[in-house]
Amino acid sequence: MSTCSTASRDLDEPISGTAATATTWLLLEQPGPWGAKALTSSHLDPALGRALEAAAKGTGVRVALIRRPGRHADSGPPTIRQVYVAHTVPGNGWLRSATIRDPRRLSDIDFAALGRGDHSTFDSALGGRPHTGDPLALVCTNGKRDRCCALLGRPLAAKLASSGVEGVWEVTHLGGHRFSPTLLVLPYGYAYGRAEAHAVKDVLHSAQRGRIVVEGCRGNSAWERPGQAAELAVRRAAGEYAADTLAVVRTEGAAPRWEVTVAHTDGRRWHVVVAQGASLPARPESCGASVLGSPARMDVVAVRELTTTMALVG
């Protein structure tokens, strides 16, 4: 059976620089079925879903629903729901959790503050606290958005959970159906595509040690797409895999060419040129698309480490 993910894989479409963009992720447990736009087409009150969408708009916060892997029969509303919030900007990253009975309490959170990395209203409104468990592995499984997410994502989530991996959740949407199964790892905010169970376990074990696996990585959600591609290119060039050591500090230009400055916590800087191209030949960008498309790709043209003098002048 031909799907958007098989076409993307067969055409060897690059995945660097394709992660969804969000400085902060807010995740609410919602069992049961999900529609294509899950916040307003699930068993969550659609009025609350619309309110959360409106509150998050323009703040850098991305709201998604999560559920435990497995069957999703309608068992009625949960009495207690898990909530997570994660800020993914290096140097100020954190992951916090809470449990709530009434999801309407999410309306008491200051979303603009969350987007800036301030979790104080999450803590005060919901009793939030630091997450002390294993990294979270969020696997997109929403077949109503794209069948690849169900066909490939649900078996991956189930396999990880059954093999004893902690912190596995199904999630409503991570973008990039054609890279299914797709995965987001928190607290660091790196997304992965074409994920396989053994590779995911390596990613999670590395995250426990504060390290980033670049193979199969789509990028860090904290950055826009050119920055995602640039940061991963610097990691490869410098052999730097420790989390929270690199940050995108400047992006100049506009499509189809950007000049990105990536900085290391030790003072080193790199100048990275990123060009936007079109993935050819045309292919289905999702299984529900009625026409073929040529999705944008981020191509790293050059990576150059700056000298100390050049970095200071820049």
Yes or no: say if 285 and 4 are a contact pair by the CB < 8 Å rule. Answer: yes
Residue 220: per-residue pLDDT = 98
Calculate the CA 27 to chain-centre distance: 12
Instruction: State residue 9's pLDDT score.
Output: 81
- CB neighbours of 302 closer than 8 A, spacing ≥ 6? 271, 272, 273
pLDDT at 72: 63
- Nearest to 231, CA basis, from 175, 184, 298: 298
Residue 12, judged by CB atoms within 10 A of its CB (0-12, 13-18, 19+), counts as exposed
Closest CA to 169 of 25, 50, 312, 9: 25
Helices (H) and strands (E) in the chain, counts: 9, 14
Bridge partner residues of 262 (DSSP) = 248, 270
DSSP structure class, residue 106: G
The amino acid occupying position 77 is P
Cα(156)–Cα(139) distance, rounded to whole angstroms?
Answer: 8
- pLDDT tens for the chain, 314 residues long, are 568 888 778 878 889 999 999 999 999 999 999 998 999 999 999 999 999 999 999 999 999 999 999 776 566 667 899 999 999 999 999 999 999 999 999 999 999 999 999 999 999 999 999 999 999 999 999 877 667 787 888 999 999 999 999 999 999 988 877 888 999 999 999 999 999 999 999 999 999 999 999 999 999 999 999 999 999 999 999 999 999 999 999 999 999 999 999 999 999 999 999 999 998 888 877 877 778 888 899 999 999 999 865 555 45
